[in-house]
Structure 1
């Protein structure tokens, strides 16, 4: 096994060295523990994929370095009626194939995002219709007043209607069903970088867009993105100079990266909350020793799981202090976060009592789905949770796998117990409410509420929050909705992980709290 790993590492370093020889001084080589699963910007609502695709595709409204709103493909926007926003589109913009960008592309893209196979339905579930006013003006009508619509659509990327039609990519790639199309491997956006080469799981190469409408602050002419799943290999590649940027740094290696003369660790808080979810809908769990009923429908079981998890132990022993235990499904930096809410105490004895009261004094067995290349120490966290739950006689069958197979499975809701992380792209709690906590419907509400938690009172509050313009009243309703969800033990919040990027001292970049990595702000010294 050791010899095999050495051979794999040698082959990887040879490939990276070859890329170095052919690359120019303004080539930046990036490594990540995982890969973007598709070049289709509507196929997976996952941060790494959205971040990667955002360098090729653009939304109407983007973000500045401080995460404030910035004009992108729209130069201005305003409400013309309580349920209508008008967007003035940027003129003179071309897709990478030279096709002019117009209102037709916006209308097409929003319809595509709401269509079959799209993973962006939840983001756009409030959109009723997108109408072309003229070639450079669109109206977006929502079902109800939506005062923060510009914040909501910052990851709703615009595709070329003509290109999608010409390449039989009118519908999004459906990761749940394993359906691919031209948009999986090719791309035609308006962004600052073009896709030159795509080898899924091996490497993806981007080149600077010489006809980009805007300013590209960085000097990077080429970006070579390589997934390196093995932590030690990824760190070694950075320390040896084979890659210029990598993330995440394993928490135990941050000091080592800082000690190395040519590298540094760029760290900061992340907006993502990592949590566990449970199937609360099926009458019988799919993957459990319990037959004929679903123990997760019983709040006492959910609370027992919660109180059996030693979150401080996970912070100390698994995350090496690089996490912030959370009592809510959102964390600091998200509007609506309430620091006064505290976690239920870690108490295995109380958890055992709850299990006995629920009729499971001897526990039960259940499968747990977990990625091993998506979040910081994700599989190790799941292992720790499994060990914790063993203390209350719950036997976890841990299924840790690469996100390429993990996400399609859990997004089909083919799971009983799972891990997920969520960053509200609006930096507002309503995003998490709509995606994770409201009752699931066919329009995209609760699209990532994979355990189908449902409380009609939470739904009612979410609808009121959406249309409320008074911030004080709005935040009071957010607090009430979270209180209901917390009392229900709707999910098991774990923590916000910390960002840790390994960066060559020759590279300048901007680290955003949403863990997006814009190539246009990256430079490398010759």
Structure 2
């Protein structure tokens, strides 16, 4: 009976693969912006990661429900006798697209590269002391102390070929938006289901299946044509005219129309991403304000006034046509540490906001510049424009400057903005990811995206303790204390958690993901 079942299973698998081959075809994909780089360790950006997720692979990844799944690592566990060491068993038989074998040396090299000083991913590995290839298929990662969550952190670190990087003089990370160029910025060599066939930055990227992917599965999508289309109307028109098959960034004003259009279906779901505003919190005067002797935003009363000026429900209903989940904290419900209590948000109270400003010494308000991207998040510029109006109601006169995301990101990295809109996804599904990058003092390992200037040694110590605390109850208590501080001190101005909307032509089956990153290798055609 077992032999019969085995033969039947093999026959069904063969039939499935034949059907897939018969139906294989091109998928034309459009979204509002392009990847910032092809170097998988040079940017911590969702659009970049989505493209590279087709080409490179991580040790572990998540399914659509957010559960950890093996990828290049087949198993992982704490080393027996040494709780400070995580052991990863590396999948055998995996090759890079240039034919080189994947070994533990490549994994160790990739983790070390991602935690280097020039990589914005370094906070994921801030507690790592050393990485060692024990044999060809075993890697040991030694941490400063025991860590409950380190496997979560490797879900965002792609593995590259050590030999390829060294041969092409790209062993070090170069971010093209900050500190230069390198071979890895323009070329790839991954183990993923696709390879890049051609690329014209900002115009068109073509991908084709890897010749012999380790999974043995041949994708039904035999060609991906990725086209960034910044203009929302043009993006939708391309879908309606059948020039593209899949639009990832569906403008909120077009969701209902597209859903009612023949031959098109809309997939929606909550994204693991918060949208919020940040501002300079140190004592130095703002560069863009008419208050020249101090920083108004360093006063808690002013930050509370900003919070009370915002009408989150109006932004949801009017700016985003209902496609948002208003929130009072900069972390979505997917993430460990989120609670319904934290999620509560202030209702707009203009009178109280004005009173707080007057109490702080600004009865007539003040001026400030707000920096926003205009092609990264769902109607990001529209959200910023609404906030300009709300703050105007309490006397704060805001000048809005909107830029493409490639020009917006350096403002945060270089701490060159007084007031900014930003979005934050949490690939680790743990609050430490937010604290490490957005709250901790910027010190070379932590605080990479902390553009606020906020710095508190006691808070830093609590954040760092999360990486090595093995008592879950104690760790959770620290997370709760930190979120209470963030909320009570109004360190950021939360607006909402983003809702993903994908538009795809009928007959194409694609599963929406909480990280807003489609897995094209699993797409099927009717």
TM-score, normalised via structure 2 length: 0.92
CA distance in structure 2 between the partners assigned to 1:92 and 1:60 by the alignment: 14
1:315 maps onto 2:310 in alignment:
no
How far apart are 1:282 and its partner, in Å?
5.5
Describe the SS at the equivalent of 1:483: helix
Counterpart of 2:363 in structure 1 is 361
Describe the SS at the equivalent of 1:153: helix
Counterpart of 1:517 in structure 2 is 518
Summarize the alignment of residues 318-337 of structure 1 with structure 2, pairs less than 5 Å apart.
318-337=319-338
Describe the SS at the equivalent of 2:266: strand
How far apart are 1:325 and its partner, in Å?
0.8
How far apart are 1:457 and its partner, in Å?
4.0
CA distance in structure 1 between the partners assigned to 2:24 and 2:233 by the alignment: 26
Work out whether residues 329 and 493 of structure 1, in 8 Å CA contact, stay in contact via their aligned partners in 2.
Answer: yes
Work out whether residues 305 and 352 of structure 2, in 8 Å CA contact, stay in contact via their aligned partners in 1.
Answer: yes
TM-score, normalised via structure 1 length: 0.92
Q: C-alpha offsets along residues 243-277 of structure 1, whole Å, 9 cap, x if unaligned? A: 11002211121111111111110011111000111
Describe the SS at the equivalent of 2:255: helix
CA distance in structure 2 between the partners assigned to 1:210 and 1:64 by the alignment: 24
How far apart are 1:216 and its partner, in Å?
3.7
Describe the SS at the equivalent of 2:122: coil
Counterpart of 2:148 in structure 1 is 147
CA distance in structure 2 between the partners assigned to 1:159 and 1:282 by the alignment: 43
Task: Return 5+ residue gaps in structure 2 as ranges.
Answer: 1-22
Work out whether residues 186 and 198 of structure 1, in 8 Å CA contact, stay in contact via their aligned partners in 2.
Answer: no
CA distance in structure 1 between the partners assigned to 2:411 and 2:467 by the alignment: 31
Work out whether residues 77 and 86 of structure 1, in 8 Å CA contact, stay in contact via their aligned partners in 2.
Answer: yes
Q: Relative to 1, partners in 2 of residues 1:466 and 1:116: Cα closer, same or farther, differing over 3 Å?
A: closer
Counterpart of 2:418 in structure 1 is 416
Counterpart of 1:401 in structure 2 is 403
CA distance in structure 2 between the partners assigned to 1:401 and 1:440 by the alignment: 25
CA distance in structure 2 between the partners assigned to 1:199 and 1:126 by the alignment: 38
Counterpart of 1:138 in structure 2 is 139
CA distance in structure 2 between the partners assigned to 1:105 and 1:282 by the alignment: 45
**Which of 428, 433, 443 is equivalent to 2:430?**
428
**Which of 365, 374, 382 is equivalent to 1:380?**
382
Question: What is the aligned-residue RMSD (CA, Å)?
Answer: 1.6
Describe the SS at the equivalent of 1:257: helix
Work out whether residues 176 and 412 of structure 1, in 8 Å CA contact, stay in contact via their aligned partners in 2.
Answer: no
Counterpart of 1:192 in structure 2 is 193
CA distance in structure 1 between the partners assigned to 2:458 and 2:246 by the alignment: 46
The alignment of Structure 1 onto Structure 2 pairs a total of residues equal to 501
Summarize the alignment of residues 9-28 of structure 1 with structure 2, pairs less than 5 Å apart.
26-28=25-27
Task: Return 5+ residue gaps in structure 1 as ranges.
Answer: 1-23
Describe the SS at the equivalent of 1:123: helix
How far apart are 1:146 and its partner, in Å?
1.4
Counterpart of 2:346 in structure 1 is 344
Q: Relative to 1, partners in 2 of residues 1:111 and 1:345: Cα closer, same or farther, differing over 3 Å?
A: same
Work out whether residues 105 and 133 of structure 2, in 8 Å CA contact, stay in contact via their aligned partners in 1.
Answer: yes
Describe the SS at the equivalent of 1:236: helix
Counterpart of 1:50 in structure 2 is 49
How far apart are 1:217 and its partner, in Å?
6.6
CA distance in structure 2 between the partners assigned to 1:67 and 1:469 by the alignment: 22
CA distance in structure 1 between the partners assigned to 2:481 and 2:216 by the alignment: 44
Counterpart of 1:65 in structure 2 is 64
Q: Relative to 1, partners in 2 of residues 1:216 and 1:346: Cα closer, same or farther, differing over 3 Å?
A: farther
CA distance in structure 1 between the partners assigned to 2:465 and 2:73 by the alignment: 28
**Which of 441, 444, 448 is equivalent to 2:443?**
441
